Every structure is written in C-alpha cells, then in structure tokens.
C-alpha cells in the first residue's frame, strides 16, 4: 500500500501566472546529476509561463537538499514534493500519483533526475508544434546518449532523419523509439493513457505510452533536432544495474514477453486494424531479444539484412560477445570509461 504522507510546497508558494507547461522531474539519490537537470529546465527560453515540479523519493545522499535549495532560490518557478518514506518500495507510480495531480499546465514535459535537456528552445519548439496541431497527443525529438560522468556525447538516438508525424508501423517494431526526456504531452491525453487498460500491463511505461499515443487522436510528431541528453551507465540507473545482474538473460526474456503482450493487446484494442503492423512489430521484438542477448549467430541466420543495418559498433559488440567474450569484456570496460 502506498504511503500518501506527502509534502509539497504547492500551497505555500504563490505563483503569479498560470503555467501552460508543467515540467516534471522524478529523482532519487542523484545528487551528482540533479543540478544539471534543474539548470537545463531553468535555461528554457519560452513565450509562455511554465512550472517545474520535482518529486524526490526520500533520497539519502543529499539530493533532497539540492532540490529544496533550488526551490528557495526560484519560489515562483519550482515546487518540490517530498515524502516521509520511499514510495517506490510500495509500488507507487510517481508520475500519475504525485506529479500529475500537482500540475497545472496544458502540457507536460518529462525528465528523470539523471538526464538533462541541451537546447534552450526545446520547450518552445514542442509547444509551437502542439499548438499548431491540437490533435497531436505528444511531441518527441532526437536525443544524445552521453557518458554519465563526463557528459561526453557517445551516440545519437534519432528515429527519423527529418521532422515528421510518427508512423505506428515504425514504432511497433522498435523497442526504444524515443528518450523518456524527449516527451512533451498533452495533459488530457496523458490522463487518458494513465486510466487506460493498456497502462495497467507490466511492460515499460515509455513503450506503452508511445504505442498508445500513436493510436489515439492524430498521433505523435517527431522533431529531428537533438534537444536532450540521456546518461549511459549513471549510478543506480537501469542501464547500469541490469547488465550486472546474474539473471540478466531471464530479465531480457521477461521484458521481451511483456513487449509482445503489449503489442497483442494493442491489436485487440484497435480491433485488428493494425494487425499487419503488429505482426511485423512482434518480429521486431524477437530481433531485439536476440540483440539484447547478444546472440550474433541467431541474428545473422534469421535477420541478415536487418543485422547489416545495425551500426558498426553495434555489430562489433555482438560479434565479440558471441565469438570472443574475453576481448568483449575488455572493450566494454574501456567503453564505459570513455
């Protein structure tokens, strides 16, 4: 059961303007990163008022104090939500239970505490797209992955080469289409998603959100500009801890099963209208499974054409793990230190 003994400054701070956008940030024990996230919110140049809501889940490393210091410095902009106990342990859904109920914006922009935005016009660009196209559920953009410690740019996550409407067929066959910190969502559409049967499935929220938003109203829009950064191997992050687990292979298989279950649910939700795209999507999830397992043999046998389209570093990673694990381990340790 979730402990709702929650403290927020929303009733203590006077905000002169009603915000059109609510920037939402969830954090826990990210003292080395949270300042970058908050500064990237504050640097946004907009023609509209926006608020910053931060949920700190009872951090023990000083993150809470950093957030509260920013709140004191920017009382008309920042509101921090704190708790007497860690809410994750009770299975709380931070975004829908603590952040969204406090939000006053027409739109919401999301970012976790160990990531950050890189373009001061990010919010303005997405706001302009959504205002010009009120039927869109959400707007996303390209994102760079960076070294957690140095912020050195490693790769670019770009779904299309140009700005355009997102095609369901493309997202159905892709595991991670857009970085979580790129989402700019119509608030009413987000509430519809949260209350939907789809959102109750055990799959990752960002995967389910994209499938939902693509199949409702006028769908999603993608901006090709790189406007945020996603930290790889940040302390305590999923991308760092999952690969270190002894049951990694089982975890990967479980994730695959959840993704397939989600696609099958979407097939029923859309009355089979997108059945062909769903079948292709499940094949895409199978490809992602063997890629996550780094099974070069199976990938080359079942998807030779798709394998050749993978980046050169990705193919080298898969090949070395399959045929030369000691060399792969050495190369991986060097990559993590870049």
| CATH number for position 72 | 3.90.550.10
Per-residue pLDDT at 269: 97
Q: What is the pLDDT of residues 225-281, one digit of tens each?
A: 999 999 997 776 555 555 556 789 999 999 999 999 999 999 999 999 999 999 999
Distance CA 159, CA 269 (A): 25
Per-residue pLDDT at 233: 78
Residues comprising the chain, all counted? 338
Distance CA 71, CA 93 (A): 23
By C-alpha distance, which of 60, 63, 77 is closest to 35? 63
Per-residue pLDDT at 320: 87
Give the DSSP H or E segment for 243: helix 238-244
Would you say residue 305 lies in a domain?
A: no
Distance CA 215, CA 263 (A): 12
Q: Are residues 35 and 132 in the same domain?
A: no
Q: Are residues 76 and 190 in the same domain?
A: no
Q: Are residues 86 and 13 in the same domain?
A: yes
The secondary structure of residue 235, as a DSSP letter, is T
Would you say residue 298 lies in a domain?
A: no
Per-residue pLDDT at 19: 98
Per-residue pLDDT at 333: 66
The total domain count for the chain is: 2
Domain range for 31: 7-113
Would you say residue 82 lies in a domain?
A: yes
Q: Are residues 36 and 46 in the same domain?
A: yes
Q: Are residues 225 and 146 in the same domain?
A: yes
Per-residue pLDDT at 1: 36
Q: Are residues 137 and 227 in the same domain?
A: yes
Most distant CA atoms of the chain, gap in Å: 62
Per-residue pLDDT at 167: 98
Would you say residue 249 lies in a domain?
A: no
- Report pTM: 0.90
The secondary structure of residue 323, as a DSSP letter, is H
Q: Are 278 and 266 within 8 A, CB to CB?
A: yes
Q: Are 288 and 256 within 8 A, CB to CB?
A: yes
Q: Are residues 139 and 109 in the same domain?
A: no
Would you say residue 218 lies in a domain?
A: yes
Q: Of 214, 243, 272, which residue constitutes the final position of a domain? A: 243
Q: Are residues 63 and 77 in the same domain?
A: yes
Q: Of 243, 271, 306, which residue constitutes the final position of a domain? A: 243
Per-residue pLDDT at 17: 82
Q: Are residues 76 and 120 in the same domain?
A: no
Tokens standing for residue 203: 């799959």
Q: Are residues 70 and 127 in the same domain?
A: no
Q: Of 95, 113, 131, which residue constitutes the final position of a domain? A: 113
Would you say residue 250 lies in a domain?
A: no
* pLDDT tens-digit profile, the chain (338 residues): 344 456 655 444 445 589 999 999 999 999 999 999 999 999 999 999 999 999 999 999 999 999 999 999 999 999 999 999 999 899 899 999 999 999 999 999 999 999 999 999 999 999 999 999 999 999 999 999 999 999 999 999 999 999 999 999 999 999 889 999 999 999 999 999 999 999 999 999 999 999 999 999 999 999 999 999 999 977 765 555 555 567 899 999 999 999 999 999 999 999 999 999 999 999 999 999 999 999 999 999 999 999 999 988 889 889 888 888 777 777 666 655 65
């Amino acid at each position: 059961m979730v402990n709702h003994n929650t403290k927020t400054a929303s009733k203590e701070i006077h905000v002169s303007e009603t915000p059109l956008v609510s920037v939402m940030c969830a954090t826990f024990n990210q003292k080395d990163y949270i300042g970058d996230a908050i500064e990237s919110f504050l640097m946004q140049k907009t023609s509209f008022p926006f608020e910053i809501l931060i949920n700190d889940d009872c951090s023990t490393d000083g993150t809470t104090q950093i957030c509260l210091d920013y709140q004191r410095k920017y009382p008309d902009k920042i509101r921090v939500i704190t708790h007497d106990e860690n809410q994750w342990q009770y299975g709380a859904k931070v975004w829908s239970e603590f952040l969204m109920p406090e939000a006053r914006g027409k739109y919401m922009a999301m970012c976790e505490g160990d990531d950050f935005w890189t373009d001061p016009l990010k919010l303005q660009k997405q706001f302009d797209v959504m205002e010009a196209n009120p039927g869109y559920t959400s707007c996303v953009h390209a994102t760079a992955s960076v070294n957690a410690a140095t912020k050195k740019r490693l790769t670019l996550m770009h779904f299309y080469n140009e700005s355009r409407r997102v095609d369901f067929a493309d997202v159905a066959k892709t595991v991670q289409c857009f970085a979580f910190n790129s989402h700019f969502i119509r608030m009413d559409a987000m509430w519809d998603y949260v209350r939907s049967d789809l959102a109750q499935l055990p799959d990752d929220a960002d995967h389910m959100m994209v499938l939902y938003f693509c199949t409702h109203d006028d769908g999603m829009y993608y901006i090709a500009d790189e406007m945020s950064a996603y930290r790889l191997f940040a302390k305590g992050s999923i991308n760092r801890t999952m690969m270190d687990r002894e049951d990694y292979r089982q975890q990967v298989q479980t994730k695959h099963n959840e993704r397939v279950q989600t696609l099958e649910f979407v097939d029923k939700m859309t009355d089979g209208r997108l059945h062909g795209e769903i079948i292709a999507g499940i094949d895409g999830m199978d490809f992602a499974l063997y890629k996550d397992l780094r099974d070069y043999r199976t990938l080359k046998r079942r998807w030779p054409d798709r394998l050749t389209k993978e980046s050169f570093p990705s193919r080298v990673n898969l090949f070395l793990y399959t045929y030369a694990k000691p060399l792969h381990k050495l190369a991986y340790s060097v990559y993590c230190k870049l």
